Amino acid sequence: MDKPLKSAPPYAITSVDHALRIATMLQLEGGLTVSAVATRLGVARSTAHRLLAMLVYRDFAVQDDSRAYRAGPVLELAAHSPSMTSRLRAVALPHLSQVVELTEESANLIVRTGDTARFIASAESPQPLRVGSREGMVFPAHRVTGGLVLLADLSAEQLETVYAREPYAERPDDRPDMADLRRELVRIRRKGFALNRGRSERGVVAVGVPVRGRDGVAVAGLSVSMPSVRYQHQALPSLVATLKAVARQLEDELAASP
């Protein structure tokens, strides 16, 4: 069984976490105001302002003429990233909140880049014991539900290209067992969802379904994450049905947007 990849540090530094989350927001979305940052992080405007000022000082952010903050020189490449991620995130946020309301568990939206999966949006469960926001985090695609449902949408040739041997020459342990992965992706395609029990993070169970674009190609993964102590196998069909229903709503809204 794969070992979990990430565990929260025992002595987390909140201010550092907040600064990193802001940098991720700027990287993915572009301009943000002090008020928007404060709301997203759940902090006072004064706290958000201090965090942004430090990011400006270290060139992670710049302030434009409209007083909005944008990615700075350190994140220069990200400042020119395509708008699709930002649009996808903006459309998805209300739907993530809907998943949280329906399941009382944390919800995530994931996109794939090569062999990695990035969490571009999260909505946290209201329960005291919950899976925290994964927004901005990056995992190997084959280790998270959102990445798996996106990999399952690829042809055999596309999958081989993603996991070509050359990039793994110096890190062979990072390359998944392709025979096992192919079998798992066949099951995911047949069932229409992926299930992850502690593969990416110890003590976390996640269920994910694809979100498709106008052409029917999967553009993102929609998932719900929960502490493993609260997961009940008999509730899996209900979770999958909820995710699929919300994914269809998200797809309809994406298709209707410019």
**Domain range 84-256, CATH architecture:** 2-Layer Sandwich (3.30)
Look at residue 7 in the predicted model and tell me its pLDDT: 60
Report, as an integer, the average pLDDT of 214-237.
95
Note the pLDDT tens digit of each residue in 122-153. 999 999 999 988 888 888 999 999 999 999 99
Look at residue 200 in the predicted model and tell me its pLDDT: 83
Percentage of the chain lying above the pLDDT 70 cut: 87
The reported pTM is: 0.71
pLDDT at 30 over 90: no
Look at residue 169 in the predicted model and tell me its pLDDT: 61
pLDDT at 18 over 80: yes
| Domain residue extents for the chain | 14-79, 84-256
Distance CA 59, CA 115 (A): 29
CATH for the 14-79 domain, from 1.10.10.10, 1.20.120.1200, 1.10.1740.10, 3.30.70.1710? 1.10.10.10
Look at residue 80 in the predicted model and tell me its pLDDT: 43
pLDDT, mean over the chain: 87
pLDDT at 173 over 60: yes
Better-predicted residue by pLDDT, 93 or 9: 93
Predicted confidence band of residue 31 (pLDDT cuts 50, 70, 90): confident
Note the pLDDT tens digit of each residue in 44-62. 999 999 999 999 887 788 8
Note the pLDDT tens digit of each residue in 62-120. 888 788 898 877 675 444 445 678 788 889 999 999 999 999 999 999 999 888 898 98
